[in-house]
Amino acid sequence: MNSTAIGASPRRIDGRLKVTGTALYTSDRSLPGMLHAYGVYSTVASGRITGIEMADARRVPGVVDILHHENFPRLYRTPRSGISVATILTASITDEHRLPFEDNTVHYGGQMVALVVADTFEHAREAAYRVKVSYAGAKPVIDLEHGIKANGLHDGGRAHARGTPEAVFDQSAVKIDAVYRTPVETHNPMEMHATLAWWEAGDLHLYEATQGATVHRNTIAQVFGLTPERVTVDAPFIGSGFGSKLFLWPHSVAASAAARMTGRPVKLVVPRAYMFSTTGQRPETRQRLRLSAGADGKITSIRHESVNTTSFIDQYVENCGGMTQSLYACPNVMVSHHTTNVHRGAPTSMRAPGAAPGLFALESAIDELALACRQDPLPFRLANLSTRDESQNLPWSSNHLREAIELGSRKFGWERRDPRPGSMTEGPEIIGYGLAVCNWDAWRTPAEARVFLRSDGTASVTCAVQDIGTGMYTIVAQTVSELTGLPFEKIDVRLGDSTFPAAPVAGGSWATASVLPAVAEATRNAIGQLRTFATEDGAVFAKAKPETLTMRNGQLSDGKRAVDYASILEAQRFASAEGFARTGGAPADKLSFMSFGAHFVEVRWDPGISRLRVARVVSAIDVGRVINPVTARNQVEGAIVMGVGMALFEATEYDERNGMPGNNNYAEYAVPVHADQPEIDVILLDHPDLEFNEFGARGIGEIGITGFAAAVANAVYHATGKRIRELPITKEKLMA
């Protein structure tokens, strides 16, 4: 096999650029005459600005301007409705719906209330510290329970109902009724959110830390009342995002406006502390699960009612019940979503939105139900797997969950599990085994790409999609290599620039499934033009029919003779053969597309020193065809490490007195470090889902975190006999 084709494991082509510091991120950029901007952020979470005292700030040398609600230009909002996967290439999407500095209202702690623009970063920051803002503060609504008390529940939609779950539950002898809670978690990508904006002849240009150059371009154009053609957004590399960089946040608008007002380029980097308030978070959830089972161990009813916090100005729904509708076979199901308003910044998608907290609840509850049935949770799950998507009444395009559970359990050694809690020990440690299923939607959106086969023997590919650290550069090159036989060093991939063919955001685990078909089609179109050139009068295959020529090893062949394509172009003095393609979404009406998997987790609890750790993980994942086993496995490993954080550490804490995020830094917002990382064994099933796209590949970025926290909670129960229904599972909760 071609060692850089689809299914092979070539190294990341951007790896060397990143580890040598050659890859430039937005905050690394500078432009001549550039100014620096630094925000002034609210110190109350609710209320009104009554005054802004700027004299002291203006005395700092180099200060050029201070923006606030009284002098900020009037801009435009983006629509809240009409957004869908099908229209993503032309969509304008903001996460925080309010425009920055729109009025004097404070909706959350850490809201940007002024912006200082100065000649250096240090001057801008110093002056920002000297801006004195006074407030008429009101008592903030600080968390989910207070939100419900203060302003009740709002319908979040995305409901599902079938059968008669209430009646079945009431008559059932075996049932569980439990409430699960997950805290606010904050995205902490290594790369800070940042914008570098400048204007030229009325056109706006941005370097931006974004997961989607096309959508960011559309959105900022809308906000400034420009056509998208007059805006460019460039983001060749980003230091991840986890969902926080999907859509527009206030700093990008503020930097763009400041650049227009000052007539100079303006760079704005969001300080880490304010990435806890102004660039999104996974909201707090409360989920009530009511499940029943028959004497035969079959699930007879499932109800999953979810509430999440949202800001006072945005209606963000965390789709916790999304997977619950169809993961297990069950005739009686009810799923509902509600929101309640709190004084926090706008929540947004964070890796596997909905499914990550939702499957913590569902897969914990399934374990509890298995125990109530006096069954091992593994055969209990196997006996209740779905054979079709019962929520849509459609067949699965491809579902190998049974195989994932069986393979994972063998590799993990589940048969060694003694079901009695606390019964397995080694030295001072108590060992717990837990399992949970993972599940994530498979989406595919429209996408565009352009491919040039050049007369110097190289190929070049352009597409506006991001590589957020997933390996997109590499798998795009693999796709071109697959179809042309060119080696990697001959393939130049350019991504993340809105002037390139349009692409969806790199999110939702849909980029691979959406973009590779466009790249493949563009490559075939380029080969098509090459064949036409090669069969013109006087050309090397002048007598042949174009469609009979094949492309292999960078050569065109009529079956008798193979000729380097570069020499064909060179002989006819063509610079290149070119192909463009726009491909569509997945067929949605006949099949249901989803990815599946199973996590097996060993935890170790040392009661003598109150130490809990995740020691070993085996995860078997069914995401269709694996394009690159190295980058794919790396995605799942990363998601598992993030899952360890979700299970044991992560929680954004808000000060009860003023609603301000307290642990808003890398020191106090705990995420896993090397010492917390378990032994991880990822099994990729690699069954192509050819109904989904030509390569049979679904996405892989998110599924690995789904269900993981439940697998840990189930293992913790097995080790300690304590059922922790509220994340994170801290030692304090185990010692209580």
Residues identified as active-site: 702
**507 binds ligand MOS, rule: CB under 6 A:** yes
Question: Which residues on neighbouring strands pair with residue 269, listed in sequence order?
Answer: 194
3-state secondary structure 467-532: CCCCCHHHHHHHHHHHHHCCCHHHEEEEECECCCCCCCCCCCCCHHHHHHHHHHHHHHHHHHHHHH
Span interacting with ligand MOS, options 106-114, 349-357, 437-445, 664-672, rule CB under 6 A? 349-357
Q: Say whether residue 257 binds ligand MOS (CB under 6 A).
A: no
Token pair listed for 255: 């930097």
Residue 357 in contact with ligand MOS, rule: CB under 6 A: no
User: Considering only residues 171-230, where is the footprint of ligand MOS by CB under 6 A?
Assistant: 211
Compute φ and ψ for 621, nearest 5 degrees. -125, 135
Q: Which two tokens stand for residue 731?
A: 């030692």
Q: Does residue 280 touch ligand MOS according to CB under 6 A?
A: no
Residue 354 in contact with ligand MOS, rule: CB under 6 A:
no
Note whether 405 binds ligand MOS by CB under 6 A. Answer: no
The token pair at 54 is: 């700027």
Interaction between residue 246 and ligand MOS (CB under 6 A): yes
Residue 243 binds to ligand MOS (criterion: CB under 6 A)? yes
503 contacts ligand MOS (rule: CB under 6 A): no
* All residues at 6 or more sequence positions from 55 whose CB lies less than 8 Å from its CB, including other chains: none
Give the CA distances from residue 154 to residues 182, 315, 321, 339, 717, in Å, rounded to whole numbers and listed in that order: 19, 9, 16, 5, 34
Quote the least distance from Cβ 187 to ligand MOS, whole Å. Answer: 8
Piece in contact with ligand MOS (CB under 6 A), picked from 200-208, 293-301, 345-353, 369-377: 345-353
From the list 508, 643, 659, 678, which residue makes contact with ligand MOS (rule: CB under 6 A)? 508
**At its nearest, how many Å lie between ligand MOS and the CB of residue 356?**
9
537 CB contacts (<8 Å, ≥6 apart)?
A: none
Q: How many residues bind ligand MOS (CB under 6 A)?
A: 11
**Looking at beta carbons, which residue is closest to ligand MOS?**
243
Q: Which residue has the tokens 């697998």?
A: 711
State the distance between the two ends of the chain, measured CA to CA, in whole angstroms.
Answer: 58
Look at residues 275, 357, 112 and name the one whose alpha carbon lies nearest to residue 661. 275
Nearer to ligand MOS, 244 or 301 (CB): 244
Nearest distance, CB of residue 592 and ligand MOS, angstroms: 20
Query: Is the CB of residue 323 less than 8 Å from the CB of residue 439?
Result: yes
> Nearest Cα to 462, choosing from 445, 446, 444, 480?
480
- Is 283 near ligand MOS (CB under 6 A)? no
State how far the alpha carbon of 32 is from the alpha carbons of 29, 65, 230, 266, in Å. Answer: 10, 18, 21, 10
Find the shortest distance in angstroms from Cβ 643 to ligand MOS: 14
Chain CA centroid to CA 621, Å: 18
For the bound state, the minimum distance from the C-beta of residue 348 to ligand MOS, rounded and expressed in Å, comes to 8
Structure token digits, residue 580: 């463009």
Question: What residue type is assigned to position 628 of the chain?
Answer: N
Residue 351 touches ligand MOS, criterion: CB under 6 A: yes
Q: Answer yes or no: are the C-beta atoms of 651 and 435 closer than 8 Å.
A: no
Asked if 471 touches ligand MOS (CB under 6 A), the answer is no
Q: Is 353 in the site for ligand MOS (CB under 6 A)?
A: yes
Q: Does 453 bind ligand MOS (CB under 6 A)?
A: no
Nearer to ligand MOS among residue 252 and residue 349 (C-beta): 349
Q: How many Cα atoms sit within 13 Å of 444 on the Cβ side? A: 29
Nearest approach in angstroms of CB 350 to ligand MOS is 5
Q: Do 599 and 709 contact (CB within 8 A), yes or no?
A: no
Nearer to ligand MOS, 41 or 473 (CB): 473
| Beta carbon nearer to ligand MOS, 240 or 301 | 240
Of 259-267, 347-355, 451-459, 546-554, the window that binds ligand MOS (rule: CB under 6 A) is: 347-355
Binding-site member from 188, 301, 349, 628 for ligand MOS (CB under 6 A): 349
The 10 Å CB-count burial string (b at 16+, else e) for 132-141 is: ebebebeebb
- Provide the minimum distance between the beta carbon of 703 and ligand MOS in the complex, in angstroms, as a whole number: 12
Note whether 350 binds ligand MOS by CB under 6 A. yes
Q: Which residues bind ligand MOS (CB under 6 A)?
A: 211, 241-243, 246, 349-351, 353, 507-508
